[in-house]
Structure 1
Amino acid sequence: MSVRSELRDQKQRLQDALMRSADLERQLQNSNSDKNRLSDRINELERVISSQKNTESELRRQLSVAANESKTLQNELDELRRRIAQLESEKRGVHEKIEELTRIRITLTKKIEILETEKRNAESILSETASQREAIERSLNALERENKELCRNCAQLQQQIAQLESDNGNRLVALTNKQKEEHDRFVQSIKSEKAQVERIIENRDRTQKNRIKQLETQLSIMREQLNNERLRCRDAVDRVYISDLSKIGSATLGLSTSGIASADAAIYPQTNSFDYVIGGRSAFSSYYTVPSSVGDEAPHISSPGQSVVESPQVETSHRSFTTSYRSSSGVASHHGLASSALSQSAVIVQPSVDAGGVTKKTTVIIKGSRYE
């Protein structure tokens, strides 16, 4: 009995051990499957982490590039603001100069009007003098006629004297001689007055003619200086426009002066002359025609009272400048078109075209004002 019960117990323990072994095998299989799943998860997480690290490094690189670009753009913005402030100050200086020249022009106009008034007065005085001379000549002619009449009377008196001498003797002869002497003195005084009046008229005529010639000479000199000052101020305003354009073009396009300086002589040999160079070493070469200049300094006009300068006549102009450059070779070329100007002709220079590379074109339009 005890053996059977012990055998049953052994069987029961064996069954329990088998069941436990089966459970442990299932748990082991589950653990292996969990291990494989966790290994896959770990591998996936490692791949995700590596990709995130790559993304993070790329983002950091992009952030550094963006920071550098931001600094560069900020520097360019500061440079543009500085250039804009400088251009504004230059613009104010030009406006002040224009206002000053306008005031000087008004003063010159008033002086010209005064000179013309003096010329008209001199002409009126000359005409009045001519009329007075004619009146004096008429009076002299009348005096000559009276003199002739007196001569005839004198001849008659001489005849009467001869007759009276024979009739009345020495008393009448003395009386007649006295009358003759008085008449001769009167004739001599009339002749001296006539000569004096003629000298006065001649002196006055010479004085008036010299004064008129002097006024005409001053007027012609002032007109010539006014024309020269108009040309000089027109050239100064064009230079200011071209300098502003070169500064704006260099700040906007960011062109280097080395590539342009090396290409200027080969592409545009005419830029060595004054009419084709803009602002010395600018950011681009220009093919542009400007009016003739009369110098850098403002000429002074000599007048009887003061030295004055004539105001300019600034023309309205509409200029279009196109700049193109090749990023592959670093050679920049520029061609300009000046149109709608009152005294200028349009000139176009086509840039050289090469195969390959990248070409960038920027058009800048400037409009000026006309001041009287």
Structure 2
Amino acid sequence: MHRAPVVVGEESVLASLRRMARELGFSQIGVADIDLASAEPGLQAWLQQGFHGSMGYMARHGVRRARPAELVPGTVRVITARMDYLPRALTEGWQAVEFERLARPHTATVSLYARGRDYHKVLRARLQTLAERLAQQLGPFGHRVFTDSAPVLEVELATRSGIGWRGKHTLVLSREAGSMFFLGEIYTDLALPLTEPVDAHCGSCRACIDVCPTQAILGERRLDARRCISYLTIEHDGPIPVELRPLMGNRIYGCDDCQLVCPWNKYAQRASLPDFDTREAFDAPTLLALWAWSEADFLQYTEGSAIRRIGHERWRRNLAVALGNAWRETGNAAFAQALVAARDGSSALVREHIDWAVAQASLAHYPPG
């Protein structure tokens, strides 16, 4: 986008944009300015402390995340979008159901957002369609769409445009929708009217900080990704730190604890799209059933899912840790047998986690002397 920005000052355009967005399954639309200079010091401090862990791309992009016009030249506004993702069939009291799942060692827990179709695919396609429909109304304009796919300060843009406020767990919170939603952006050269930010409403509550299994939330809006189970099970591609493995429980892909305990998620909205309905394979899976998957099974059951991107090896690594935790807690020899039987055919990374799991369970149930 290199031409002069198109000034769009009519609020009716924003109303039309919101109407088209709702038709495409989006729940809320905002418009942010591109001056994010005030966010740069915090981003730099976070990176300097190494809180990004092995996500090297975070450091490589650096403050470019806070400079939208450097990422996409010509950008003067960012359209922000919220899409709710709770599965449509989810029952009332779903938070309690999820905590019960976490308390059953033999059951595998996959983050709610990943139980359906890959959100990257869903949002990106619908954001592009939204931009095309807007162009039909206003004429051609420069734009690029993003969904967790580029150096974009998604939360910063969402909060500045009124989608919600940054909660103490660093996620965006909304009084109408809690935090169970995806974010997407359209970088554009349209000078659309800005939408106003909203006040924060966390007050003195620190439920998310206290519930974190690994204490990854160091303080208000301060997260050490290196301790976050979502990071460890999804982003991190090496061995999981030994001291954190027992704290992961049966969480094999992501972690929802800080959202499950948040009072605002009593207002979380069900998805309007069937894409986020829970797939049968992830409805109530057991660790042993998932451990029995071959790589071909993994690719089949995760086709079109966000889970596939971690690959079969990391999937097995995560399962090995959960199986070790389950054996330690229950003493059920079936977990040990499954781990040992798979050892010789596993990669070095998975073998190391199998060995840890076997040793931990043996020490727990068969102490020396």
Asked if Structure 1 and Structure 2 have the same fold, meaning a TM-score greater than 0.5 normalized by the shorter chain, the answer is no
* Structure showing greater Rg: 1
- Relative to its length, the structure with more helix (as a share) is 1
Please tell me the TM-score bracket, short chain as reference: under 0.3
Higher relative contact order (CA 8 A, sep 6+): 2
